[in-house]
Amino acid sequence: MNGNHKIIIFFSLLAVRLVQIAESSVVSTGDFNKDFFVTWSPSHVNTSAHGRERSLKLDQESGAGFSSNQMFLFGEIDMQVKLVPGHSAGTVVAYYLTSDQPNRDEIDFEFLGNVAGQPYILQTNIFADGFDNREERVNLWFDPTKDFHTYSILWNLHQIVFMVDWVPIRVYRNHADKGVGFPRWQPMSIKVSLWDGDSWATRGGRDKIDWSKGPFIASFKNYKIDACIWNGNARFCRGESPTNWWHKHKYSTLTSTQRRLFKWVRKYHMIYDYCQDNERFQNNLPKECSLPKY
């Protein structure tokens, strides 16, 4: 093979690689009809004419849900949500990433309804290689039923950060080198649902859904997906590139301002942390509980 042929092949491969990198990240359209499909009970899903707002309904007949068309490996997902108002005990609004595999990875926001006048509880959970039991719960510092608020997941090779209106409420670091499970190989889709969880969601299932207060409506808008689209090759999503901005060093830990906000949430709004539940784990807490969060 002569030198000219080598040069042509090199630039051809480079062009293919650049196309793959360019296609690896997506900034979403903002149109639910284009980026998501309804997974169950279409009659309980209402989407605005322009596709930029969507609501889910729960009644005695059914709940409802939708899922992203694409699967992703790392990135940042934002969703504005307005939760079920009034007496919402027993209802669960779930907004999460999941690989849907037997040994699944999952990153969960779960909003647990409550009796009228009592605060919503936001539960977060993480599955890694099929194992969960990593629940944390916080009371929100505002009424999440009065207006839309932004709930975000930043997921990179270094950490998973759950944020509420850009305030970090939870950090789960990648301690895979120390034997701690961390979602890093399986692509995940974005799923949203509203369903009947009254067997467990409110006071351990003691407060049931009052169907006379229904139907129950949760609303969603102004989502943003900036993530690596899964194309069958994890290297493209795991590598640093201009599009895979989330892997950059500046996103490898919390900033000093984020740390202050994080500590504030933990001090004043956290109501359950699995890493403090010695009784549940019989004084053998999961390994990550003794490792740094940032």
Give the C-alpha separation, 277 to 285, whole Å: 8
CB 59 within 8 A of CB 215: yes
State the virtual CA torsion across 159, 163, 167, 169 in degrees, nearest 10: -70
* Residues classed as catalytic: 106, 110
Long-range contacts of 245-248 (CB under 8 A, 24+ apart): 246/74, 246/75, 246/76, 246/154, 246/155, 246/156, 247/74, 247/156, 247/157, 247/158
- CA distances to 135, 182, 185, 249, 264 from 254, rounded to whole Å, are 21, 18, 23, 11, 14
